[in-house]
Amino acid sequence: MDSSSDFVSEFKRVLSLIYPPYDFPDVYWRIFNFNWFPNPHHQECFQKHCVDVARRMDALCRRDNLLQEIWKEDITYAYLVGFLHDIGKPFVTRINFFGQQGFRGQAQGGAHLVTLRFQDEIPKDVLLTMGVLIDCHMCCLRNLSFSSEHRLRVNAVLHMYLPPIPHLLSLLMCLHSADQSSKQPPFQVEGSGYLYQAPFTFRKDRRVVIFLLGPMESGKSKIARALTEELASCGSVLHLQRDEILMTLATKGESYYSCYNRIRSYPALKRQLQTLWQERLDSASADIILVDTCQTYFWSNMIGFENCFRIGVYCVPFNLIDPVANWRNPQIEFPPEKWSGYPSLLTEQCPWNLEVGTGLWNLVPSLVKRYFNQPWPESLEHHPSLATLWNESFVSKICAQFPFKGIHVEEEFSLMDHKVYRATYTPGKAFTWGPTRFYRGEYLLQKENTKMVYPLRSGLPTFTRHPTFAPTFDHVVVTPKFDGILVNILFIPLQHPYYKFLKTWFLGDWNEIGLFLVGSKQKLIMDNHLRKNFNMVMGSKSFDTYIRSYDSYFEDQDCLKTLHFEMMTEADSKELNVYYPENFFKFIGCTTFTNDYRRFSLAKPSDAIAIPQKTFQTKEACEAYLEELHDQFLKGDTLCEPEGCVLYFWDARGCLLDIVGKKFPEYLAVINPNKYPKHYQETLTNPLLAERFQKIRKLKKDLDTSALKKAIHEFLKKDTKDRKEFALYVEENRFKIQEFQTQLDEMTEKARMKARNIRQELFLNYPYIQKTIANIFRPLGEIVDEE
């Protein structure tokens, strides 16, 4: 192709060959008429950029004879890739509040469009290569601007996603080079961040969530059915369709579109639909979840499933390629105006909404299989300690293996020739998930002269946040989940190498068998106020007397051990939700660890204050027990813990496979009333349940209605001979009634209730004063202790 030819005529000629205007009028004119706003990245126009990248890509690939087959006339496949790499931009353009253009999802949308266009013209293997190149051309690894931690993480995910195509990374770097050098001014980079080998295995929880993203009539349901069939061999598959939930709100005989338009017109129905949808998402527990989103249903801040490996399939309307494909609505708006656009990807920016996003849905089954077929630790004990990971690599590589801001390692103490590090929540977070939950509260000891790191204290792993059963297990032990404060007591034997210098550094408790550091969930040594509570719960016993109840755990003088207790206090606490009428401890278990291994064991039934335990061999028996336990709790059984249960899964060798939390819905409702409004109201108005929760007990004390009742009573004592005179009286005092309403609104807001309309109740119940007051305060009267 003559490089001196005019780019405008060349663009028009090539575009007419790819998308003939008579066959693809919408696509052709959108692309032909598109241009980006002036910006620092592109001072050249869109058409010139497409032609220039195509020429450069063809020249770079010609050196190694890559993609040099001819598609049509003198156009090679390499040229096509360069010409079409930004084809998605005209279709996904969004303009933000500042008037700036955004093209999120343009690479994946472009790959989808190119695949649809050429599926019958270009050999499958070549088209797959072209699609993947366009799909990935926005990868952040094209330069070194991101942190080394993020580049390592992206490489791990990218190697999992990329299919085994010859020369793929070389082709991708050619496309990056052509794209960057064609910009005006040319974009100069020091190098790319690609690694030819995956730096580590990227793992989150062993669940995959696939989001089907796009407007109506873009083939999401069809793709979902195909994926459901192909993924059945990988595990249980659940397809969540928003349309099915929408139709639960339909009236008898109402069509989908009538129901959809009716719900769109009423904010209350839209909120109800969103609540139903969120409940379905929260209860989803399959190995693979397909989430079918649509138009206004999708917002990037509602992606959720942070603990799962998340894949987005980016869809575009079929009618862009085939005008008769969508017979019901051939003029689909794309992108929809009331749509936040495609979500952001790990491979393109940080932070991200999805780990992987693609316009090539046929790549998803193999990706899911590769994710599941990775080597997974067989039990919690097989997860390497942070000390092992640290000694094998470096901190940024450790953090890269976990989700963004998933783990935070900070220096806690610097003493002589040692440093003590703590693995904790990231700033602003109150939880961990994924593999990071195994390291919450773990302490590390580093020797300054060798820089080697050793485990100092092992924490108790956080239970997994999705309530599912382990795929295979020998038996499961169920314990109550107490809503207390975790106490971790580190035991350093007298003969252990750490004993002398730790005893010098820390004012701990010690006796003739060793040193004891009494800590909390996050602290190696408890804060003073927490230690006072600890001593108060111990009562008249000394620490030495108390700890000698567990002498059998201290016989091994070669290992460090952490004993885990739950501490419940009678005093009201802002941190806790369950009310306890007395102070007490429960012994959960013990973690034994050395430099090479760690092992957790539950408390023996014969141990002092051992946590109650029930053992089951089958999933069915365990689930039946959990249902029975919940029923007993609802009936007011005070021996049932309001928070729920913890399930410990073990294999036949006695290794702990997983820890799973099963929280009762009433507990979840109390800590998050907006998310579970129905359960919250039921709990709030049930005297058997309300007294079990500190927040509700405090709410009852705060909701003092007596002053407002007295004020309304005084107002109604005015003698009026008929409704007309009463109406004039009410109108004259409308500002006072508004004050009453404001006070009532504030009270009901605390209880997440809707306030009665005082003015309306005055007229409905005239002239009966007591009846009026009773009706005004009826919702609150169900939860407030009456005088």
| pLDDT tens-place string over residues 494-503 | 989 899 888 8
Q: Over the stretch 689-726, which tens digit does the pLDDT of each residue have?
A: 888 988 777 776 667 788 888 899 888 888 888 888 88
pLDDT above 90 (res 382): no
Residue 61 dihedral angles phi and psi, to the nearest 5°: -75, -25
Residue 385: partners with Cβ closer than 8 Å, 6 or more residues away: 442, 455, 458, 593, 598
Cα 709 to Cα 719: distance, rounded to the nearest angstrom:
18
Nearest Cα neighbor of 108 from 209, 214, 187 is 214
- How many Å separate Cα 778 from the centre of its chain? 39
Query: Residue 14: exposed, middle, or buried by beta-carbon count in 10 A (0-12, 13-18, 19+)?
Result: buried
In the chain, DSSP finds a helix count (H) and a strand count (E) of 30, 23
pLDDT of residue 295: 43
pLDDT above 50 (res 330): no
Q: Which of 301-305, 429-433, 648-652, 768-772 has the lowest mean pLDDT?
A: 429-433
pLDDT of residue 680: 81
Cα 373 to Cα 367: distance, rounded to the nearest angstrom:
10
Cα 80 to Cα 87: distance, rounded to the nearest angstrom:
11
Cα 259 to Cα 346: distance, rounded to the nearest angstrom:
37
Cα 641 to Cα 577: distance, rounded to the nearest angstrom:
12
Q: Over the stretch 347-367, which tens digit does the pLDDT of each residue have?
A: 998 888 899 999 999 999 999
pLDDT of residue 39: 79
Cα 132 to Cα 122: distance, rounded to the nearest angstrom:
14
Per-residue pLDDT band for 151 (boundaries 50, 70, 90) equals very high
Q: Which of 44-48, 428-432, 554-558 has the lowest mean pLDDT?
A: 428-432
User: Which letter, b or e, does each residue of 413-435 get, where b requires 16 or more Cβ atoms within 10 Å of its Cβ?
Assistant: eeeeebbbbbbbbbeeeeebbbb
pLDDT of residue 242: 78
- CB of 61 closer than 8 Å to CB of 174: yes
Per-residue pLDDT band for 333 (boundaries 50, 70, 90) equals low
pLDDT of residue 477: 97
Specify which of 380-384, 424-428, 653-657, 703-707 reaches the highest per-range mean pLDDT. 653-657
Nearest Cα neighbor of 66 from 192, 196, 139, 169 is 169
pLDDT of residue 574: 58
Q: Over the stretch 189-215, which tens digit does the pLDDT of each residue have?
A: 667 889 989 988 888 878 899 999 887
| DSSP code at position 344 | P
pLDDT of residue 297: 44
- CB of 460 closer than 8 Å to CB of 564: yes
Cα 281 to Cα 394: distance, rounded to the nearest angstrom:
37
pLDDT above 50 (res 37): yes
In the predicted model, what is the mean pLDDT of residues 505-531?
91
The letter for the amino acid at 490 is: L
Share of residues in the chain with pLDDT > 70 (%)? 89
Helix, strand, coil percentages in the chain from 3-state DSSP, rounded to 5: 40, 15, 40
Residue 470 dihedral angles phi and psi, to the nearest 5°: -60, 145
- Residue with the bigger pLDDT between 522 and 487: it is 487
Instruction: Using DSSP, state whether 418 is helix, strand or coil.
Output: strand
What residues pair up with 490 in beta bridges, in sequence order?
A: 517, 562
The interaxial angle of helices 77-84 and 46-63, nearest 10 deg, is: 150
Q: Over the stretch 290-310, which tens digit does the pLDDT of each residue have?
A: 988 654 444 555 677 877 899
The letter for the amino acid at 426 is: T
DSSP sequence for 81-105: HHHHTTTTHHHH-EE-TTS-EE-TT
What residues pair up with 589 in beta bridges, in sequence order?
A: 564, 602
pLDDT above 80 (res 677): no
pLDDT of residue 337: 67
pLDDT of residue 328: 42
Residue 91 dihedral angles phi and psi, to the nearest 5°: -100, -20
Q: Which of 5-9, 146-150, 598-602, 665-669 has the lowest mean pLDDT?
A: 5-9
Return the H-helix or E-strand segment holding 25.
helix 25-33
The letter for the amino acid at 396 is: S
- CB of 442 closer than 8 Å to CB of 385: yes
pLDDT above 60 (res 780): yes
Cα 508 to Cα 330: distance, rounded to the nearest angstrom:
75
In the predicted model, what is the mean pLDDT of residues 721-734?
88
pLDDT above 70 (res 331): no
Q: Which of 127-141, 501-515, 613-627, 751-765 has the lowest mean pLDDT?
A: 751-765
| DSSP code at position 339 | -
pLDDT of residue 90: 92
Q: Which residue has the tokens 């599926």?
A: 119
pLDDT above 80 (res 327): no
Q: Which residue has the tokens 């295979």?
A: 472
Per-residue pLDDT band for 429 (boundaries 50, 70, 90) equals low
pLDDT of residue 137: 94
Q: Which residue has the tokens 């039921």?
A: 682
Per-residue pLDDT band for 436 (boundaries 50, 70, 90) equals low
In the predicted model, what is the mean pLDDT of residues 659-682?
84
Share of residues in the chain with pLDDT > 90 (%)? 44
Residue 598 dihedral angles phi and psi, to the nearest 5°: -145, 150
- CB of 158 closer than 8 Å to CB of 136: yes
DSSP sequence for 351-382: S-SBSEEES-GGGHHHHHHHHHTS---SSGGG
Per-residue pLDDT band for 4 (boundaries 50, 70, 90) equals very low
- Mean per-residue pLDDT of the chain: 85
pLDDT of residue 326: 42
Cα 371 to Cα 639: distance, rounded to the nearest angstrom:
43
Cα 36 to Cα 48: distance, rounded to the nearest angstrom:
12
User: Which letter, b or e, does each residue of 34-46 get, where b requires 16 or more Cβ atoms within 10 Å of its Cβ?
Assistant: bebeeeeebeebb
Cβ-based neighbour number of residue 205 at 10 Å:
18
Query: Residue 150: exposed, middle, or buried by beta-carbon count in 10 A (0-12, 13-18, 19+)?
Result: buried
pLDDT of residue 425: 66
**Torsion sign (Cα): 606, 610, 613, 617:** negative
In the predicted model, what is the mean pLDDT of residues 458-462?
80
Cβ-based neighbour number of residue 396 at 10 Å:
14
The runs of H, that is alpha helices, within 137-255 are 148-161, 168-181, 220-230, 242-247
pLDDT above 60 (res 510): yes
In the predicted model, what is the mean pLDDT of residues 638-653?
92
pLDDT above 80 (res 642): yes
Per-residue pLDDT band for 446 (boundaries 50, 70, 90) equals very high
Phi-psi region at 304: left, alpha or beta (left = phi > 0; alpha = psi -120 to 50): left
